[in-house]
Amino acid sequence: MSRRSAALAACAAAVALCVTPASGALYVCGCDTLRVEPVGRWEAVVLYLDGGPFLLPQTIAASGVRYSDGERTFWTKGEEAFLEIGDVLVKSGCVLAPSVLETGGDGRTQFDVPVLSSHDVDVSALNELIDAAALRGEAWVRDAFLIALEHVGATDGLEARVVSVVKVDSAAEAAAGSTVTVVREGLLDDSVRAIWDELHLARTAGGAWRVERALRAYRCWRGHHGLAYGAEWCP
Q: Is the pLDDT of residue 4 over 60?
A: no
The answer to whether the beta carbons of residues 109 and 103 sit under 8 Å apart is yes
Q: Where are any strands of DSSP class E within the chain? A: 25-29, 32-39, 44-48, 54-59, 65-68, 72-77, 80-85, 88-96, 119-120, 160-169, 177-187, 192-203, 209-220
The answer to whether the beta carbons of residues 37 and 21 sit under 8 Å apart is yes
DSSP β-ladder status, 80-85 and 88-96: antiparallel
Three-class secondary structure of residue 220 per DSSP:
strand
Percent of the chain with pLDDT over 90: 35
Mean pLDDT to the nearest integer, 117-122? 94
Mean pLDDT to the nearest integer, 11-26? 52
* Angle CA 16–17–21, to nearest 5: 110
Q: pLDDT tens-digit profile of 77-107?
A: 877 889 999 989 999 888 876 544 444 444 4
The answer to whether the beta carbons of residues 121 and 154 sit under 8 Å apart is no
Q: How far apart are CA 7 and CA 140, in angstroms?
A: 13
Q: What is the pLDDT of residue 76?
A: 86
Class of domain 19-96 (CATH, top level): mainly beta
Q: What is the pLDDT of residue 155?
A: 67
| Domain residue limits, the chain | 19-96, 109-220
CATH architecture of the region 109-220: Roll (3.10)
Mean pLDDT to the nearest integer, 161-168? 84
Mean pLDDT to the nearest integer, 12-26? 51
